[in-house]
Amino acid sequence: MAYPYVSDREVRILSKHFGDPAARTLEGALANGRYEALKKALEMDRGAVIEEVKTSGLRGRGGAGFPTGVKWSFMPKDSGKPHYLCCNADESEPGTFKDREIIRWDPHQLIEGCLIASYAIGAEHCYIYCRGEFFEASSILAKAVEDAYQAGYVGKDILGSGVNVDITVHIGAGAYICGEETGLMNSLEGRRGQPRVKPPFPAAAGLFGMPTTVNNVETLAAVPHIVEHGGEWYRQWGTEKSPGTKLFCVSGHVNRPGNYELPLGFPLKDLIHDVCGGIRDGNALKAVIPGGSSVPILSAEESEECALCYEGVIAAGSMLGCASVIVMDETTDMVKQVRRMAYFYQHESCGQCTPCREGSAWVTKILRRIEDGRGKEEDLETLVEVTTQMTGTTICVLSDSVAAPVQSSIEKFRDEYLALIRRGERVGAA
Amino acid sequence: MSDTPFKNPGFAGNTGEFDLTEDQVRGRDFVPSRPLEGGHPSGTASYPYMLPEKHPDAPLFEGAYQERFEKLLTRYPDRRAALLPTLALAQEVRGHVSPETMDEVGKLLELPDAYVRGVATFYTMYNKAPVGRYLVQVCTNISCNLCGADEVLAAFLRATDTEMGETSADGNFTIVEAECLAACGFPTCVQINSRYYENVTPRDVPGLLERLREKGE
Ligand SMILES: Cc1cc2nc3c(=O)[nH]c(=O)nc-3n(C[C@H](O)[C@H](O)[C@H](O)COP(=O)(O)O)c2cc1C
Ligand code: SF4
Ligand code: FES
């Protein structure tokens, strides 16, 4: 088999052609049925396209899980202004590696999604903001867009419909914060990628001050399938509140890490022990981060009953985020890993808000001190206090992302912190 | 025509069950390289593979690069929005973005010097100082870290006899730590110039460096 990471429990819709190099070419994409949904959409009323996506219940795959059809319906109808669509391909949340796979294996699926979404929201220009590190993926995407232009799927008067949509592949330059939607818009405008105070919301005044929608790569890639088969069809998978399939990026201490497309609501336990072949070296599970490094850590017990849908992970005490499942076995040095995550946020803080700029630096410093065996017991209270002040007080939620791993680890792995503080002992160290 | 001499590093998911060539996985059979003048304007901002030779005094811009710069400007409603791709173009020809380069880019786009410097220094991918022929960026973020990224980073530093951020005596390698590169399922991920090397272990490091010295990317 070409793509190594497959399981018979998968439902492969977005990932169906992963591992097939022919799917990148326009001929291959057409043979796979790409651009059929576009034709269908162009014959529909814009409002009807939005309704279909609303019916499907598709929720944003970039982390927040906001219903996509509802987001699109916030765009003004007759503003007389240019509208924009931004496709968020900044993929930099630690643990997440799905958008790059979509882009490099099936770029036309994404392009078709961008076209349909642009049509639905009345945008004549779509920018695909790829993180700067994606040289290979963005080259593949740029070539695919070029092919689609030449064949008349993109540009002026698409397929003779009178609809115009341009697509531009835009490249970032290395800054996690440009994944935040208003940071992304600032970056696209040639500014520092600092998030904006909301309101105004992007649908009112976004890119270049115009009505804008920002959607994640995976969200947009799901759109053609929904338009082609109907919103109800999409609901055959997943739960009432989390319909459809989702790419789960599994990394860390499992035997078969990788991307697996599964119906939402899939048991976390089965993902780890069945789909991913269990924990490496037959070790015991220690903890799981179910949604990328910005969400609370689940203990092994909490992960036991967790269902991987938006509401299921909240019930278990964390968040689904972008479904980036980071698995940690018993050898994991929790303090070190939490410090590494805090360091990341300190490094990536854009510096606008005091709690985030100062707090992330202090938290990292204190954690480093504990890690080095120079911590004090009061440090744990200080960490909780500082991170509490960092929650809900800033322009964007990067600041809150520091609190999630720090607070959850102190709550669930307090003994490990204390052991280090009291005896300078650490788990997993050689 | 994969000539990856290792079981693992080279491309995502090469666990031995993978029957594709490296070029097929990377898409290099589909896009061997991007044209210097940028191809269709829609993709002008995307890089061709980084030029092997950099000229710190190269003009901004001439020939194919001038063409590419002009195409870029057609994709945005104002000149400011072309700033990031233009800085990237400048880095591509010069190898790094010095303060003088920032000022020159500012002139091209009619933006104040201080503004351009403020933007350019916000982003990590613009090298503010010259780097080696190969910029080796080792991801040490959580998923890679759980699987031993710190040892991989140490192996690179040892094999090149450098400190972090320093360029090796032969001018070939600069090793730095990177944040998550979005290849977390294939740890450790190392970006070398424009290319990702996945599943890298400390054992692979000497061979990987040898391959770069001998054959380029
Ligand atoms: C700090 C931060 C980083 C983010 N990074 C990304 C990212 O890399 N990719 C992404 O799609 N969304 C990211 N988001 C979420 C976006 O702000 C936005 O919600 C999303 O792109 C909307 O698309 P969706 O509705 O399709 O999910 C980030 C948010 C924050 C606060
Ligand atoms: S919370 Fe942090 S990253 Fe977000 S806007 Fe404020 S300083 Fe910037
Ligand atoms: S953590 Fe290393 S690539 Fe994501």
A220 CA to middle of ligand 1, Å?
Answer: 13
Give the Å distance between the CA of B169 and the centre of ligand 2: 39
**Ligand 2 atom closest to residue A360's alpha carbon, by position in its atom list:** 2
pLDDT tens for chain A, 430 residues long, are 346 678 899 999 999 999 889 999 999 999 999 999 999 999 999 999 999 999 999 999 999 999 999 999 999 998 999 999 999 999 999 999 999 999 999 999 999 999 999 999 999 999 999 999 999 999 999 999 999 999 999 999 999 999 999 999 999 999 999 999 999 999 999 999 999 999 999 999 999 999 999 999 999 999 999 999 999 999 999 999 999 999 999 999 999 888 999 999 999 999 999 999 999 999 999 999 999 999 999 999 999 999 999 999 999 999 999 999 999 999 999 999 999 999 999 999 999 999 999 999 999 999 999 999 999 999 999 999 999 999 999 999 999 999 999 999 999 999 999 999 997 666 655 4
Residue B25 lies inside a defined structural domain of this protein: no
Shortest alpha-carbon distance between residue B168 and chain A (Å): 23
Do B97 and B156 lie in one domain? The reply is no
CA–CA distance, A396 with A373 (Å, rounded to integer)? 33
For residue B34, tell me if it sits in a domain. no
Task: Confirm or reject: Cβ of B183 under 6 Å from ligand 3.
Answer: yes
Chain B residues within 8 A of A110 when measuring between CB atoms: none
Rounded to 5°, the CA angle A92-B138-A295 comes to 35
Instruction: Give CA–CA dist A286/A222, Å, rounded.
Output: 34
What is the predicted pLDDT for the residue at B7? 40
pLDDT band at B50 (very low <50, low <70, confident <90, very high): low
Same domain, B115 and B162: no
Is position B63 within any domain?
Answer: yes
Q: Flag whether pLDDT at B17 surpasses 70.
A: no
Other Cβ atoms closer than 10 A to A417: 22
Whether A42 and A164 have beta carbons less than 8 Å apart is answered as no
A337 CB within 6 A, ligand 2: no
> Among the ranges A1-5, A230-234, B12-16, B56-60, which has the highest mean pLDDT value?
A230-234
Q: Would the CB of B146 count as within 6 Å of ligand 3? A: no
Average pLDDT over residues B15-42: 83
Residue nearest to atom 5 of ligand 1 (CA): A179
Q: Is the CB of B18 less than 8 angstroms away from the CB of A4?
A: yes
Domain boundaries, chain A: 21-234, 245-329, 334-429
List pLDDT tens digits, range B67-110.
999 999 999 999 999 999 999 999 999 999 999 999 999 999 99
Domain boundaries, position B79 = 41-122
Cβ distance A272 to A308 under 8 Å? no
Residue B9 pLDDT class (50, 70, 90 cuts): very low
CATH of the domain at B195: 3.40.30.10
Residue with tokens 């050898």: A331
Name chain B contacts of A25, Cβ cutoff 8 Å. Answer: 30
Q: Cβ contacts (< 8 Å) between B15 and chain A: which residues?
A: 4
Strand partners for A279: A254
In a domain, B90, yes or no: yes
* Nearest-ligand number for the alpha carbon of A61: 1
The C-alpha angle A413, A416, A419, rounded to 5 degrees, equals 150
**Residue B154 and residue B186 in one domain:** yes
Q: How many CB atoms lie within 10 A of CB A265?
A: 19
Mutation test residue for ligand 2: of A198, A394, A402, the one with most atoms within 8 Å of CB: A394
In this structure, the answer to whether residues B68 and B109 fall within a common structural domain is yes
Within this chain, do residues B156 and B188 fall inside the same structural domain, yes or no? yes
Rounded Cα distance between A101 and A90, Å, is 13
Tell which of B72, B92, B122 closes a domain.
Answer: B122
Shared domain for B47 and B116, answered yes or no, is yes
Query: Does the structure show a pLDDT above 50 at B10?
Result: no
Between CA B182 and CA A375 the distance in angstroms is: 33
- Is there a contact between A342 and A390 (Cβ–Cβ < 8 Å)? no
For residue A122, CA distances in Å to A73, A85, A155, A164 come to 11, 9, 14, 9
Asked whether residue B108 is assigned to any structural domain, the reply reads yes
* pLDDT for B216: 72
Which residue among B97, B122, B147 closes a domain?
Answer: B122
Of the partner residues A142, A257, A348, the one whose CB lies closest to the CB of residue B185:
A257
**CATH number for the domain including B87?**
1.10.10
Which residue from B minimizes the CA distance to A259? B185
Q: Which 3 state secondary structure label does DSSP give A223?
A: helix
Is B21 a domain residue? no
Q: Domain A245-329 is in which class? A: alpha beta
Between CA B194 and CA A188 the distance in angstroms is 21
Q: Do domains A21-234 and A245-329 have the same CATH topology?
A: no
Mean pLDDT of chain B: 89
- Residue A117: half-sphere exposure toward Cβ, Cα within 13 Å: 34
Query: How far lies A46's CA from each of A82, A354, B194, in Å?
Result: 16, 43, 40
By the 8 A CB rule, do A151 and A26 touch?
yes
CA atoms of A279 and A411, how far apart (whole Å): 24
B141 shares a domain with B110 = no
Please report the pLDDT score of residue A187 as a whole number: 98
Q: What percent of chain B has pLDDT over 70?
A: 89
Residue B23 to residues A2, A129, A143, B26, Cα–Cα distance (Å): 13, 25, 16, 5
Confidence at residue B5, expressed as pLDDT on a 0 to 100 scale: 33
Q: In terms of CATH architecture, what is A334-429?
A: Up-down Bundle (1.20)
Asked if residues A218 and A245 have their Cβ atoms less than 8 Å apart, the reply is no
The residue with tokens 């999630």 is A404
- Ligand 3 centre distance from Cα of residue A37 (Å): 34
A203: Cβ contacts below 8 Å, ≥ 6 apart? A71, A74, A75, A76, A211, A212, A213
Q: Does B10 fall in a domain?
A: no
Where does residue A218 rank: exposed (0-12), middle (13-18), buried (19+ CB within 10 A)? buried
Closest-CA residue to B183 (of B133, B141, B124): B141
Interface probe for B, chosen from A81, A135, A336 (most Cβ of B below 10 Å), is A135
Which amino acid would we find at residue A215? Answer: N
What confidence score (pLDDT) does residue A426 get?
Answer: 64
Q: Is B117 exposed, middle or buried (0-12, 13-18, 19+ CB in 10 A)?
A: middle
**Are B47 and B114 members of one domain?**
yes
**B82: in domain:** yes
Count of domains forming chain B? 2
- In this structure, the answer to whether residues B98 and B61 fall within a common structural domain is yes
Q: How far apart are CA B83 and CA A62, in angstroms?
A: 26
Please report the pLDDT score of residue A5 as a whole number: 73
Sheet holding A123-130, edge to edge: A166-171, A123-130, A83-89, A212-216
B49 and B88 part of one domain:
yes
* Backbone torsions φ then ψ of A79, nearest 5 degrees: -75, -20
Separation CA A173–CA A193 (nearest Å): 10
Same domain, B97 and B138: no
A21-234 topology per CATH: Rossmann fold (3.40.50)
Q: Are A399 and A391 spatial neighbours (Cβ–Cβ below 8 Å)?
A: yes
What is d(CA A56, CA A58) in angstroms, rounded to the nearest whole number?
Answer: 5
Instruction: Give the distance from CA A121 to its chain's centroid.
Output: 22
8 A C-beta contact, residue B87 and residue B98 = no
At residue A288, the 3 state secondary structure works out as strand
pLDDT tens figures, B150-204: 999 999 999 999 999 999 999 999 999 999 999 999 899 999 998 888 889 999 8
R_g over Cα of chain A? 22
B172 CB near ligand 3 (under 6 Å): no
Residues A288 and A297: beta-carbon distance below 8 Å? yes
